[in-house]
Amino acid sequence: MAPALEVVDVVKAYDRKLAVDRVSLCVEPGEVFGLLGPNGAGKTSLIRMIVDITRPDSGSIRVLGQTMTPALKDRMGYLPEERGLYQKQKVFDVLVFLGQIKGLARHVAAARAESTLDRFGLFASRRKNMRELSKGNQQKVQLAAVLMHEPALVILDEPFIGLDPINRELVIQLMKEAAARGTAIILSTHLMDQVELLCTRAYLINEGRGVLSGTVREMRERFADNAVLVETDADLAKRPEVERAQAVNGLQKAWLRTTPEQFLGGLVRDGAIIRHFERALPSMDEVFIRAVRGGAP
Amino acid sequence: MKKALVVARHEFLTTVKRWSFLIVTFGLPLFMLVVMGASLLLQKESMREEEGKIAKAKIGFVDESGLLVKKARDSWKPYPTRDEARATMRADGVQIVVVVPAEWLRDGRLDVYSTIPPSLFTMNDSLVAPEFRDYLVSCVLREDDPARLARAKVPIASTVPVYLAETTGGVSREERPQDYLQRMISGVTFFFLLFISISVSGGYLIQGMADEKENRVMEMVISSVTPEQLLTGKLIGLGAVGLLQVAIWSALGVGTAISMAFTFVVNPALFVFCTVFYLLGYVLYGSLLLGVGSLGSNQRESTQLTWFITVTVMSPVFVWVSILSSPQSALARVFTYIPLTTPTTMMLRYSVDPRGTPWWEVALAIAVLIGATALSIRVSAKLYRMGLLLYGKRPAVREIWRWLWA
C-alpha cells in the first residue's frame, strides 16, 4: 500500500526567509504521526503545502501515492490552528456545506452531518447559529467537519486547545477509531503527553529544518542518560557503579558508570530485594526542549 | 465546476437569507414608495386646493386696448379703468381682474390684479382663466368660424415626426423617433442595471470575503476547494444575488419592468448584445474586486484597496449624456477601450447608434473585454490564493509582485 503522505526535500521561502528547508518525511496509513516544533518553526507552512493551499518552491509532495490534484483534496481533512466557522449560519448548514465541498453529495452530506453531530453530542444544537455555541462546541463542530467525509489523511493542528478533559477524551477516541480504520493522522501539538499517548512516530522541526525523527520510543532513547529507575532496599548512592542517585516518585533514579545490565547483575549478586527496575527515559517534553535548544545528540 | 456551483449555492442562499438583504431588497423600495407617495399626495392635495380657488374666482376685466369688441361672458365684470377696478374689486366680490393694456397687441403683456394670496403652487400661474384666453383670441381674429378659431387656439394638435439618421455612407435613413428612444432607453437601462447590480454584488463580494477572513474559516475552505473554484463560485452566487435584487426592484417598479420587457421584445438582438457585455463586465469587475480586495485584512481595508476599481467602473456616469449625443466621438472611443468601462460605453454606443458603430469596433471591444477578463481571473486567483491567508497584515508591493510571477 502506498504511503498516505510522502514529503521529499521540500523547500518554501517567504520574502527570502526560508520557512521550510529540505524537509522529508513519510506517513503510513493507520498511523498517528506527530509533527512537532516550537512556534514559528515552519509547521504551518509545511501543513499548508501538504493540503495544497500553497505550493513548495522545490521538492515534492505525494498524497496516497499521487502528486497533488484538486480531487485529492477530497481525501484529506484539515483542522487548521487559525480556525473559525461561519458565525451567522446554522450548525447543520455549515456542516452540509463543508461536506459538499469535500465532494459529498448533498443528501449524503446531510445524513453524515446528522450522525456526526449525534456522535459529538451536538444533535440538539443543529438548528442553532454557530455563534450561539460555546468555543469548545464550535471546535467540536469543526472537528466533525474534518472527519465527516472519512478522509484517508487527516491533519489536526492543535486539536486539543480549548477543550475540557471530557471532550479531549472524545477527540482522542475519535482519532484512535479513525486510525484503526486506516486513516493516517498528522497531529501537530505542543502537548507532549498527548504525543507520547497517541503517536507512533514523530518529526520535530525547528527553524524550518527537520531536527529529529523516528518512533516516539526511539526519540526518548536517543536523549536518554545512562540511568535507571529502581525500587529496592539497597542504598544505591553507596554502590560503586552509581555516579549519583536521587529519589523520584517513590523510586530511586541512579546515573550509572556501567551498563544497566551489569548494574542489575551486581544488585542481584549482592542479594538486594528488587521490586521495580527500568531504564529511565526522558519525557517527550524533555526531548523537545533538549532537541530544540541543543539539536539532536 | 461542481464545487464552484456548491460555493455559488451556499453564497446565494446565505446572502438572501440575511435580514440585511431582505430589509434592503424589500424595505428600501417600500420606504421610498411610502415617502414619495405621501409627499405626492400632500402636494397634489395642496395644488388642487390652490387651483380650485383660482378656477372658482370671479373675474373682472379692463379694456385699455379697445380690442375687446366681441361680447364677453355675463359673469365677467367689466371695469372702465384699472384704478376703479383696484378700488372696488374686493367690495364687488371679484378676485381676479385682467387688464388688457393699450400696447397688448404689440407686446402681448397683460396686467392681472388678484385678491387671492400667492402660494408656492400658484406663484407661476398666469391667473388668466382658459375661457378668457379663448375670448382674447376670438377678439384679435374678429372671427366667428369655430374651426378657424379652434386652429388658432391650438395650431399644432399632433405631429408625425420622422428621424433621418445619418449612416456611414452619408445617406439618410428614416426612423420613427420612438424606435430610436426605445433603443436608447434599453441602452441606458442596461447601463444603470450594470451599475446597480455590480455595486450591489460588489458590496456582497467584499463583505462575504471579509467575513470569512475575520471568522478564520478561509483556511478550512481552501483546503477543500481551489481558490479558482472559490472565486468562480462567489462570482456566480453573489452575481445572482445582485441580479435577483435588481429584478425585485424592477418588479416593484412595475412601470420600469413593463417598459424594459417591451423594449426587449421589440429588439432581441440588442438584448443579446447587452447581455454579453453585461456578463463579461460583471466577471471582470467582480474578479478584480475579489483579487485586490483579498489583500485587505478586513472589510474597511478591502474597500479602501478596491476604490480605484469602483471609481473607474463608475466613470462613464460622468460622460454618459455626452456619449448618448455623440456615440462615435473620440471620448466615446476612449471609454470603449478601457476594459473596466468597455461594457457600459459599448452598451450606450450600440443602443443609440447600432448602424453607425463599426462592426470591427464591437468585435475589438469584445476581444479587449475577453482578454482583460481572462487576465483578471488569472491575476486575481493568484492574489486571492495568497491574500486569503493574510490575517492582520498587508503584504508589501514587492511581495505581491513575487506572487504574480510565482
More confident residue, B150 or A26: A26
Residue B155 is which amino acid?
Answer: P
If one counts every other C-beta atom within 10 angstroms of the C-beta of residue B384, the result is 24
pLDDT of residue B175: 67
In this structure, is residue B331 part of a structural domain?
yes
pLDDT of residue A236: 87
What is the distance in angstroms between the Cα of A169 and the nearest Cα belonging to chain B? 24
More confident residue, B165 or A63: A63
Contact B238, B206 (CB under 8 A): no
Mean of pLDDT over chain B: 81
In this predicted structure, the answer to whether residue B403 has a pLDDT above a threshold of 70 is no
Pair (B234, B325) in one structural domain = yes
Q: Report d(CA A130, CA B216) in Å as an integer.
A: 13
Q: Coil, strand or helix: which one is B11? A: helix
User: Which domain CATH number covers B106?
Assistant: 3.40.190
Pair (B333, B391) in one structural domain = yes
> What residues of chain B have any CB closer than 8 angstroms to a CB in chain A?
3, 6-7, 10, 14, 18, 211-212, 215-217, 219-226, 229, 385-386, 389, 391, 396, 398-399, 402, 406
Q: Coil, strand or helix: which one is A99? A: helix
Cell of B235: 462570482
Pair (B310, B204) in one structural domain = yes
pLDDT of residue B21: 83
Name which of B220, B398, B399 to mutate to probe chain A: the one with the most chain A Cβ atoms within 10 A of its Cβ. B220
Rounded average pLDDT over B177-196: 72
If one counts every other C-beta atom within 10 angstroms of the C-beta of residue A211, the result is 17
- DSSP, residue by residue, B343-385: HHHHHHHHHH-TTTS-HHHHHHHHHHHHHHHHHHHHHHHHHHH
Which residues from A are below 8 Å from B398, CB to CB?
A: 15
Q: Coil, strand or helix: which one is A24? A: strand
Closest-CA residue of B relative to A48 is: B223
In this predicted structure, the answer to whether residue B257 has a pLDDT above a threshold of 60 is no
Q: Which of B98, B119, B153 is the last residue of a domain?
A: B153
In this predicted structure, the answer to whether residue B300 has a pLDDT above a threshold of 90 is no
Rounded average pLDDT over B18-47: 82
In this predicted structure, the answer to whether residue B402 has a pLDDT above a threshold of 80 is no
The residue assigned the cell 528547508 is: A21
Q: Report d(CA A13, CA B270) in Å as an integer.
A: 52
Q: Coil, strand or helix: which one is B283? A: helix
Task: Report the residue count for chain A.
Answer: 297
Pair (B187, B291) in one structural domain = yes
pLDDT of residue B267: 65
User: How many contiguous H segments (helices) and E segments (strands) does chain B have?
Assistant: 18, 6
Q: Which of B153, B188, B216 is the last residue of a domain?
A: B153
pLDDT of residue A163: 86
Name which of B223, B384, B386 to mutate to probe chain A: the one with the most chain A Cβ atoms within 10 A of its Cβ. B223
pLDDT of residue A297: 54
Q: Report d(CA B361, CA A47) in Å as an integer.
A: 50
> What residues of chain A have any CB closer than 8 angstroms to a CB in chain B?
15, 48, 51-55, 70, 73-74, 76, 78-80, 82-89, 97-98, 100-103, 142, 145-146
Name which of B11, B216, B221, B224 to mutate to probe chain A: the one with the most chain A Cβ atoms within 10 A of its Cβ. B224
Pair (B398, B326) in one structural domain = yes
What is this model's ipTM?
A: 0.81
Cell of B51: 387651483
* CA proximity to A155, closest of A53, A69, A247: A53
- Identity of the residue in A52, A53, A73 whose CB atom sits nearest the CB atom of B389: A53
What is the per-residue burial (b if ≥16 Cβ within 10 Å, else e) of B294-321? bbbbebebbbebbeebbeebebbeebbe
Closest-CA residue of A relative to B406 is: A57
Which residues from A are below 8 Å from B221, CB to CB?
A: 98, 101
Contact B206, B234 (CB under 8 A): no
For chain B, the domain total comes to 2
- Identity of the residue in A87, A102, A146 whose CB atom sits nearest the CB atom of B215: A87
Rounded average pLDDT over B266-284: 78
pLDDT of residue B42: 86
Percent helix, strand and coil across chain A, each to the nearest 5: 35, 30, 35
Pair (B307, B232) in one structural domain = yes
pLDDT of residue A275: 92
Is A145 within 8 Å of B14 when comparing Cβ atoms?
A: no
Pair (B223, B371) in one structural domain = yes
Rounded average pLDDT over B103-131: 80
Contact B310, B230 (CB under 8 A): no
pTM for the whole thing? 0.74
Is B219 within 8 Å of A101 when comparing Cβ atoms?
A: no
Is B220 within 8 Å of A52 when comparing Cβ atoms?
A: no
More confident residue, A21 or B164: A21
pLDDT of residue B389: 66
Q: What phi, psi does A89 have (nearest 5°)?
A: -110, 160
Pair (B135, B246) in one structural domain = no
Is A101 within 8 Å of B216 when comparing Cβ atoms?
A: no
- Give the best-scoring range by mean pLDDT among B149-153, B156-160, B290-294: B290-294
Q: Report d(CA B186, CA B182) in Å as an integer.
A: 6
Superfamily of segment(s) A5-220: P-loop containing nucleotide triphosphate hydrolases (3.40.50.300)
Cell of A48: 499548508
Which residues from B are below 8 Å from A89, CB to CB?
A: 14
| DSSP character at residue B24 | I
Cell of B58: 370671479
Contact A66, A76 (CB under 8 A): no
Closest-CA residue of B relative to A44 is: B219
Contact B396, A15 (CB under 8 A): yes
In this predicted structure, the answer to whether residue B263 has a pLDDT above a threshold of 70 is no
Contact B193, B274 (CB under 8 A): no
Residue A5 is which amino acid?
Answer: L
In this predicted structure, the answer to whether residue B353 has a pLDDT above a threshold of 90 is no
User: How many contiguous H segments (helices) and E segments (strands) does chain A have?
Assistant: 9, 14
Three-state helix/strand/coil letters over B221-257: HCCCCCHHHHHHHHHHHHHHHHHHHHHHHHHHCHHHH
In this predicted structure, the answer to whether residue B258 has a pLDDT above a threshold of 60 is no
Which residues from A are below 8 Å from B6, CB to CB?
A: 97, 100-101
pLDDT tens across A53-101, in order? 888 889 999 999 999 888 899 999 999 887 788 888 899 999 999 999 9
Q: What phi, psi does A133 have (nearest 5°)?
A: -85, 155
pLDDT above 70 covers a percentage of chain B that reads 85
Name which of A14, A50, A53 to mutate to probe chain B: the one with the most chain B Cβ atoms within 10 A of its Cβ. A53
Radius of gyration of chain B (CA): 32
Q: Domain range holding B380?
A: 177-405
B167 pLDDT band (50/70/90 cuts)? low
Distance separating the N- and C-terminal Cα atoms of chain A: 33
- Run of H or E including B52: helix B28-56
Q: Which of B153, B186, B221 is the last residue of a domain?
A: B153
Task: Report the residue count for chain B.
Answer: 406
pLDDT tens across B205-246, in order? 888 887 777 777 888 888 899 888 888 898 889 888 877 887
- Strand bridging mode A251-256 / A5-14: unpaired
Closest-CA residue of A relative to B19 is: A88
Q: Report d(CA A31, CA A28) in Å as an integer.
A: 6
Contacts A–B by Cβ distance under 8 A: 76
Pair (B238, B91) in one structural domain = no
B124 pLDDT band (50/70/90 cuts)? low
Q: What phi, psi does A230 have (nearest 5°)?
A: -130, 140
Pair (B125, B184) in one structural domain = no
Mean pLDDT of residues grouped by 10 in chain A (297 residues)?
Answer: 90 84 93 91 91 88 90 91 83 94 93 92 90 88 91 92 87 91 92 88 90 88 88 88 88 91 91 90 86 69
In this predicted structure, the answer to whether residue B193 has a pLDDT above a threshold of 90 is no
* CA proximity to B111, closest of B125, B97, B95: B97
> Comparing A199-203, B185-189, B225-229, B361-365, which segment has the lowest mean pLDDT?
B185-189
Segments making up each domain of chain A, as ranges: 5-220, 225-280
